[in-house]
Structure 1
Amino acid sequence: MLLTSLLFPLLALGSALPDKPNTDVSTFTNPVLPGWHSDPSCIQKDGIFLCVTSTFISFPGLPVYASKDLVNWRLISHVWNREKQLPGISWKTVGQQQGMYAPTIRYHKGEYYVICEYLGVGDIIGVIFKTKDPWNEASWSDPVTFKPTHIDPDLFWDDDGKVYSATHGITLQELNLETGALTPELNIWNGTGGVWPEGPHIYKRDGYYYLMIAEGGTAEDHAITIARAKKITGPYEAYENNPILTNRGTDEYFQTVGHGDLFQDTKGNWWGLCLATRITQQGVSPMGREAVLFNATWNKGEWPVLQPVRGRMPGNLLPKPTRNVPGNGPFNGDPDNYDLKKTGKIPPHFVHHRVPREGTFSLSPKGMKIIPSRNNVTGVIGGNEIELSGQRGVAFIGRRQTHTLFKFSIDVDFKPKKEDQEAGITVFRTQVDHIDLGIVRNKKSELSLRFRATGPSPPA
């Protein structure tokens, strides 16, 4: 199959109507990272904010975005961008909920670190990537691996130089960043009673260690809670007014608010990004879990006060709006209009469902050539043949859906030679939840259009 052009393309996860650059600092609009950007973790270094988000089994993994104003975010690299960084790892996953997620990004003594886990079938692998130049995708290291007992590892340097990782539970261990060695785990807090206390981040401020976590599950009860202690090992005292951020029990458009990170701008103002979903009246969220911005007030010796997440937020403390951000990648949410006969490279924000087979996608003066996989995007879930299950990758490329209303089109040159060979477009959520429109060779050796819908409630 040959793709020759894309206009606001939807090849997998969607596309968007154009976003206007932010020019009004009195307010801003959430989500600031529209489209699937769950579990955001962010830092600020030299006036540039960097944020990394989860990708689960998609590839390339762990996108890194840069911004100077917290609203306009440019893709600058992917942490996991080479299959050989973790060879064969993507074959060890089955479901969409596995893979690489809940990353933490931190800066320490000239190097940027990203820590997370890769969850496979019955196994968790901790991974630590680092670079001195996050704008150079090739500079992200092969990971140091370790064996965490839980998911969602955090990364924290204490004043004495010791490095700690807090994980789901909430547990704490010392971590050797060079070898991956861990000390025995210590349970330091169980949250406030919500299910799945996870996504921990530790901050040291005014003589206290603050432990901020997510709990309540990943649906409407999701929330952010916090505790603090005089020693990193505890005992931790829970804040009496927990949760400090949630939209549970409300009819707000943004729901499932939780799993966030806090950071400061150059003027000392506190900000946070967390995940949220835009829930329709039908109770669905086609864009998935997105990243939303909120302001925080954190007075000396007190607990942080986080601004409730809404669509329109006050932005009087925002840095001056600008798109003068280093990097060559696109700004998230911008429209796409590509002539693939002329681009010379695959757009960097396009993603695959698992690591693609080598040679599946290539560009030429005729456009993007795609070598079909044996299986379609559904595959044979739970099948014994890895080629048909989708674990070895499928001939699939797409971009995140960032709006509920959008336009897209593609030009395709497809000449199938065998019955049931198919190519087309898909609105894709998981292997068992997608809507497809394909060009297929039928039993009469003719080309026809085939509409397919899978999932718990496919369209009639």
Structure 2
Amino acid sequence: MPTIPINPIIPGFAPDPSLVRVESDYFLVNSTFHLFPGLPIYTSKDLVHWEHIGNALHRQSQMSLEHSSTKINPDLLATGGLFAPTIRYHNETFYIVCTNIIHKPDIPGRAENFVISTKDIWAGEWSDPVYFDHDGIDPSLFFDDDGKVYLQGSHTVRPRVTEINLFEIDLTTGKRLSEEKNIWGGTGGKFPEGPHIYKRDGWYYVLIAEGGTHEGHMITTARSKDIWGPYEPCPSNPILTAAGTREYIQYVGHCEAFTDPEGNSWGVCLGVRMEKGGRYIMGRETFLTSGEWEEGEWPAFDTVKMDPKGVVAAQGDGKPRLSARPGVDFLHIRNPELSNYSSLGTDRAVTITSVSSDLSHPNESPSFIGKRMRYLDGTSSVTIVSPPEGSRVTAGLVVYKDEHRYLRIFLDTSESRIGFELVNGYQKLSKSNTQSVEKVTEYHLTIDHTEKEFRLSYSAGEGSKTTLAVIDTLEMTDPDFVGPVIGAFAVDQGHAVKVEFRNLEIS
């Protein structure tokens, strides 16, 4: 068995992974929900070093994310937008099927399912979406030997009840070519979802996630000689889970099975790094685990671990394990007005034109540009050049999850004050404080973070560094879909203001 790479392979906000291997190259995609651009594409040749090469939803004309607000349920924060993509390759074409969940007052939680494609994944140009009829989420594709293409997905039977359905599809038009049929309901765990069909040794195997995406998350499987079933469940289900264990990696699920060029079996899945106190500040990340899938047998996966023995020495080549092409890893909220952002010649400097919509707005796009938080321990910082005299704008640095939850440190030019604000609508938390500062030409804002705390600090001009607040990361840890994104923002009181940010560093 080959060495398992250091986990997570895609750290930070990287849930619902799907992976396809094309010869010696691996390509992986994740959910992005309410953020633009959406559906990041990562690639690797060794499962160790990964590069973010583009985003499948990269043009605003492809799709609107206006109605991707977050609903607060008693046991979950459910964000709309882009759910659980699947990536596949067939006849020299890459396909991604995905769901855009739309939250409107009159149509809560409507699922719009679509497929996009590209002939050249390296160019980063994907087609406009072709929509198809599927009342549910987590669509996946299976290309059979006879040329037929099947769509399998998590079908909504009634609110909060799902099952795995299948139908034949024409990917060019999105038209159904067969009736939709239920093929499996799982083993009894709630929310059967995330299905993938694989064909091996004359068997059709369906791998699914069930039990919910948090405490009870697990991977189960069933197989049939006929793609339409009936499907026989594996006697060893679940074949992957961390439920009921004390493993550091918890909530393991949503797995994609694949083999490397040498024939070794692997699983790529989501999980969270959970500290003993219940903190999992990074949210759902992408992990890798080894497995076995012998001829005619059931698949099996090893327990997901962070750092297996000997891996650090084996991979100590000094190369970054996650990199990105210039600019592709920047994120905005929902449907940004891209003309409000102008680069100053480097990705560490940007001018943002403020808008009146704040981070708390459920549908509009506040002026924000940021990146996924990639490290448990790190420092993010920015320098704000003092806006013109008389400007009334609030600008700063924020740890953002959605309109209900963010933690920020900011300059308020209307009162010449530095402040912080914690908002967590799920926990019904609200904290804030401000301090007067002298007017200077530059203000330096910093957010230091560890697994247990956020430390918000500032300095004015050449002044000394002052800690404004220390926040327990539990106050930003919730049962949700998303992960933390850190970036710069600017909000005004009705008059657009150009705010210059320099030395933007996001860890």
- State the TM-score, normalizing by the size of structure 2: 0.75
Deviation at 1:332, TM superposition (A): 2.5
- In 1, are the aligned partners of 2:357 and 2:364 still within 8 Å (CA)? no
Q: Which residue of 405, 413, 427 maps to 2:377?
A: 405
Amino acid at match of 2:136: H
Q: Does 1:307 align with 2:289?
A: no
CA distance in 2, matches of 1:365, 1:51: 30
CA distance in 2, matches of 1:236, 1:448: 64
The Cα offsets for residues 160-205 of structure 1, whole Å up to 9 and x where unpaired, read as 1111111111111111101111232101100000000000000000
Identity %: 39
CA distance in 2, matches of 1:265, 1:416: 57
* Map of 2:138 onto structure 1: 152
CA distance in 1, matches of 2:4, 2:190: 34
Deviation at 1:28, TM superposition (A): 2.9
Q: Does 1:332 align with 2:322?
A: yes
Q: Which residue of 101, 116, 123 maps to 2:98?
A: 116
CA distance in 2, matches of 1:256, 1:418: 50
Deviation at 1:241, TM superposition (A): 0.9
Q: Which residue of 210, 226, 230 maps to 2:225?
A: 230
CA distance in 1, matches of 2:369, 2:326: 10
- In 2, are the aligned partners of 1:69 and 1:320 still within 8 Å (CA)? no
The Cα offsets for residues 252-302 of structure 1, whole Å up to 9 and x where unpaired, read as 111100001011111111111100011123323211100000111110000
CA distance in 2, matches of 1:27, 1:346: 29
- In 2, are the aligned partners of 1:28 and 1:314 still within 8 Å (CA)? no
* Map of 2:268 onto structure 1: 273
Secondary structure at 1:438's aligned position in 2? strand
Amino acid at match of 2:375: H
Q: Which residue of 155, 169, 179 maps to 2:173?
A: 179
CA distance in 2, matches of 1:140, 1:28: 30
Q: Does 1:297 align with 2:285?
A: no
Q: Note the 1:26-105 alignment, pairs <5 A.
A: 26=3, 28-86=5-63, 89-95=64-70, 97-105=79-87
Change (3 A) 1:38 1:98: same
Amino acid at match of 2:174: G
CA distance in 2, matches of 1:346, 1:416: 30
The Cα offsets for residues 203-261 of structure 1, whole Å up to 9 and x where unpaired, read as 00001000000000011110000000000000000001100000001111111000010
Deviation at 1:132, TM superposition (A): 1.1
- In 2, are the aligned partners of 1:65 and 1:77 still within 8 Å (CA)? yes
Amino acid at match of 1:99: G
Deviation at 1:392, TM superposition (A): 2.8
Secondary structure at 1:268's aligned position in 2? coil
Change (3 A) 1:374 1:351: same
CA distance in 1, matches of 2:416, 2:385: 12
Q: Does 1:261 align with 2:231?
A: no
CA distance in 2, matches of 1:38, 1:447: 40
CA distance in 2, matches of 1:418, 1:186: 64
CA distance in 2, matches of 1:93, 1:261: 26
Query: Using CA pairs below 8 Å that are at least 6 residues apart, which structure has the higher relative contact order?
Result: 1
* Map of 1:395 onto structure 2: 367
Change (3 A) 1:419 1:283: farther
Change (3 A) 1:418 1:223: farther
Q: Which moved more, 1:49-58 or 1:450-459?
A: 450-459
Q: Does 1:190 align with 2:185?
A: yes
The Cα offsets for residues 39-65 of structure 1, whole Å up to 9 and x where unpaired, read as 000011120111011101111000010
* Map of 2:410 onto structure 1: 438
Deviation at 1:92, TM superposition (A): 2.5
CA distance in 1, matches of 2:318, 2:140: 30
Amino acid at match of 1:180: G
- State the TM-score, normalizing by the size of structure 1: 0.83
* Map of 1:132 onto structure 2: 119
Change (3 A) 1:61 1:315: farther
CA distance in 2, matches of 1:48, 1:315: 25
CA distance in 2, matches of 1:167, 1:65: 23
Change (3 A) 1:26 1:156: closer
Deviation at 1:434, TM superposition (A): 1.2
Change (3 A) 1:417 1:162: farther
- In 2, are the aligned partners of 1:416 and 1:422 still within 8 Å (CA)? no
The Cα offsets for residues 341-398 of structure 1, whole Å up to 9 and x where unpaired, read as xxxx97221111212113111113594110112122123xxxxxxxxx4x23111111
The Cα offsets for residues 70-107 of structure 1, whole Å up to 9 and x where unpaired, read as 01110111000000112xx2123322611011111011
- In 2, are the aligned partners of 1:351 and 1:399 still within 8 Å (CA)? yes
Secondary structure at 1:397's aligned position in 2? strand
Q: Which residue of 186, 206, 210 maps to 1:215?
A: 210
Change (3 A) 1:322 1:142: farther
Change (3 A) 1:71 1:64: same
Change (3 A) 1:377 1:305: same
* Map of 1:424 onto structure 2: 396
Structure 1: state its 5+ residue gaps: 1-24, 325-329, 335-344, 380-388
Change (3 A) 1:46 1:371: same
Secondary structure at 1:151's aligned position in 2? strand
- In 1, are the aligned partners of 2:68 and 2:334 still within 8 Å (CA)? no
Secondary structure at 1:359's aligned position in 2? helix
- In 1, are the aligned partners of 2:52 and 2:323 still within 8 Å (CA)? no
- In 2, are the aligned partners of 1:346 and 1:363 still within 8 Å (CA)? no
